[in-house]
Amino acid sequence: MAGSIREIRRKIKSIKATKQITRAMELVSAAKMKRAVNHALGMRSYASTALMILTHLADKTHPEMHPLLEIREPKRVLVVAYSSDRGLCGSFNALLFKKVLEHERELLAEIPGVEIDYISVGKRVQDFLSRTGRNVIATFTNMSSRPSMESTLPLGKIVLDAYLDKRYDRVVLLYQHFMSALLQKPTAFQLLPFSKETLVAMAEDLKLFKHLDGELEEEGAEYLLEPSPDVILEMLLPQLTQMQIFQSVLETTASEHSARMIAMRSATDNATELMSDLTLHMNQVRQAGITAEIAEISAGKAALSV
């Protein structure tokens, strides 16, 4: 009995130490989540307005006016997949991996024989793509630790150069869109070429324009581009593209910290419950031992009195 109680106490002590760690990680993730969510939501208004501009430009501007508006037959597709660099964030990465496979199946069903290459942003998705034999042309890590526009510029340059050189006919962003602290939505966003249909569908699905007074559909709206359409589009479209890439990093970061906070809270609650169960079991073992000792004493007394 003593050995059994000692073993239970050892387990309780170990679980208590684990609980202290998960609780600390929950608090750290909560602080990081608050900062990341503020950044993501703060930039979302700007990024959503940029998406609205892209939507109307894609609709009102002739595709031949700029290569980023040109719609080509998709023979090669570049997918930029975002994940976390570390684990302990529940199903955050697993859901993203599932979305990667689902999007790949949809592409192959839509365009049989299409070639798909990947850019991985995050160590976890890099490991997943390498393990499953996907072709990864570039890898970025530690981008979500301190996301900034400057840190995403190399990624944006690779994407823009690859599309403008016609090495790829379509560019897709795969990331976790932050909906709330409890919900992150795996999202496939066609970044290039700009298409009103895909932009409107994504904006309505994610409710990106709900804070804007403008409507997605502006019948009869016209744009006057000064000094000239070529100059404006050459300056505007690459910047708007870079903005969407940066926003996807912010969304991923906010989603990652939210998922990790919830995972650590769940682990802390499970540790508390397990400690309670073990304490109850230890008390039952101790009570059974005491009862057995009392029974032995009573039996001995009865034997001596015979």
Tokens standing for 263? 């995972």
Is residue 184 domain-resident?
A: yes
Residues 152, 229 within the same domain: yes
Is residue 170 domain-resident?
A: yes
Helix/strand/coil for 250: helix
CA angle, 62 then 67 then 71, to 5°? 65
* Domain extent for 136: 28-260
Is residue 199 domain-resident?
A: yes
Is residue 303 domain-resident?
A: no
Check: CB of residue 99 under 8 Å from CB of residue 80. Answer: no
Reported in sequence order, the residue ranges of 108-252 that DSSP labels E, i.e. its strands, are: 115-121, 136-140, 170-180, 183-192
Is residue 85 domain-resident?
A: yes
Residues 221, 283 within the same domain: no
Residues 114, 218 within the same domain: yes
Residues 113, 18 within the same domain: no
Residues 137, 278 within the same domain: no
Residues 225, 90 within the same domain: yes
Q: Return the bridge partners of 178, or none.
A: 184
Residue 12 to residue 17: CA distance in whole angstroms: 9
Residues 238, 288 within the same domain: no
Domain count, the chain: 2
Please tell me what DSSP assigns to residue 174: E
Q: Specify the CATH number for the domain of residue 208.
A: 3.40.1380.10
Q: CB neighbours (10 Å) of residue 107? A: 19
Residue 249 to residue 8: CA distance in whole angstroms: 45
Crossing angle between the packed helical segments 123-131 and 92-110, to the nearest 10 degrees: 50
Taking the model in full, what pTM does it have? 0.78
Residues 93, 111 within the same domain: yes
Q: CA nearest 184: which of 3, 78, 37, 86?
A: 37
Give how far Cα 18 sits from Cα of 2, 33, 178, 264, Å. Answer: 24, 22, 29, 11
Is residue 161 domain-resident?
A: yes
Residue 77 — φ and ψ, nearest 5°? -120, 135
Q: Would you mind telling me the total number of residues written for the chain in this entry?
A: 306
Residues 21, 139 within the same domain: no
Is residue 304 domain-resident?
A: no
Check: CB of residue 269 under 8 Å from CB of residue 276. Answer: no
Q: Specify the CATH number for the domain of residue 286.
A: 1.10.287
Residue 136 to residue 115: CA distance in whole angstroms: 12
Residues 57, 180 within the same domain: yes
Give how far Cα 67 sits from Cα of 162, 174, 290, Å. Answer: 12, 23, 84
Residues 149, 283 within the same domain: no
Is residue 302 domain-resident?
A: no
Judging by DSSP bridges, how do beta strands 183-192 and 115-121 pair with one another? Answer: unpaired
> Can you give the pLDDT of all 306 residues of the chain as single tens digits?
555 888 888 888 888 888 888 899 888 888 888 888 887 777 777 767 766 766 666 666 666 667 777 778 888 999 999 999 888 888 889 999 999 999 999 998 888 888 999 999 999 999 999 999 999 999 998 887 778 888 889 998 999 999 988 899 899 999 998 888 788 889 888 888 876 666 666 666 556 555 444 444 454 556 666 666 667 677 777 888 888 888 888 888 888 888 889 989 988 989 989 988 888 888 888 887 777 777 777 777 677 765
Tokens standing for 155? 């990624």
Residues 108, 157 within the same domain: yes
